[in-house]
């Protein structure tokens, strides 16, 4: 009986080959050369917290500011909009489209209550910066009588 050396990547290579075969079969049966997915994408975000506010930076390169929608719902910052692909914006023939495009949405849950009236947003160089000040807690005096 011969001893075979174990290759930890063998199963991954096998899985990779099987998935390629599967996709090739589906592509042949569907008759489509390219696949198009209509799912929404989510922009990446950085959330910072100071002693007075949240500061959220959301990367939205290529999205015009008029196509960005912001709202506060149930103590969550919700951003949505649309980014058109280059072929949708102009008549250029694209050889490769790697950046995500189409509708997007992102909801970021905020743990502390915020003052919705004081929320501000600034959009520069493809980064949307949203500043969300914390709500001020009022001390309520109890009268005795």
**Are 98 and 86 within 8 A, CB to CB?**
no
Token pair belonging to 141: 């005096």
Residue 121 lies in a domain: yes
Please tell me the pTM assigned to this model: 0.65
Number of CB atoms found within 10 A of residue 108's CB:
15
Kindly report the CATH number assigned to the domain that includes residue 71. Answer: 2.60.40.790
Lowest mean pLDDT among 5-9, 88-92, 106-110, 130-134: 88-92
Mean pLDDT confidence for 116-145: 92
* Residue 74, SS3 per DSSP: coil
> Residue 90 domain-assigned?
yes
Residue 13 lies inside a defined structural domain of this protein: no
Q: What is the mean pLDDT of residues 68-94?
A: 82
The pLDDT value given to residue 95? 73
pLDDT at residue 128, rounded to an integer = 97
């Amino acid at each position: 009986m011969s001893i075979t050396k174990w290759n930890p990547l063998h199963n991954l290579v096998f899985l990779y080959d099987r998935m390629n075969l599967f996709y090739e079969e589906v592509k042949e049966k569907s008759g489509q050369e390219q696949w198009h997915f209509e799912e929404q994408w989510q922009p990446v975000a950085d959330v910072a917290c100071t002693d007075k506010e949240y500061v959220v930076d959301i990367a939205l390169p290529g999205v015009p500011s008029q196509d960005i929608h912001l709202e506060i719902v149930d103590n969550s910052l919700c951003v949505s909009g649309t980014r058109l692909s280059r072929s949708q914006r102009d008549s250029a023939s694209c050889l490769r489209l790697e950046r995500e495009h189409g509708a997007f949405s992102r909801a970021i849950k905020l743990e502390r209550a915020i003052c919705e009236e004081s929320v501000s947003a600034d959009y520069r160089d493809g980064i949307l910066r949203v500043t969300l000040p914390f709500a001020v807690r009022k001390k309520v005096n109890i009268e005795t009588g």
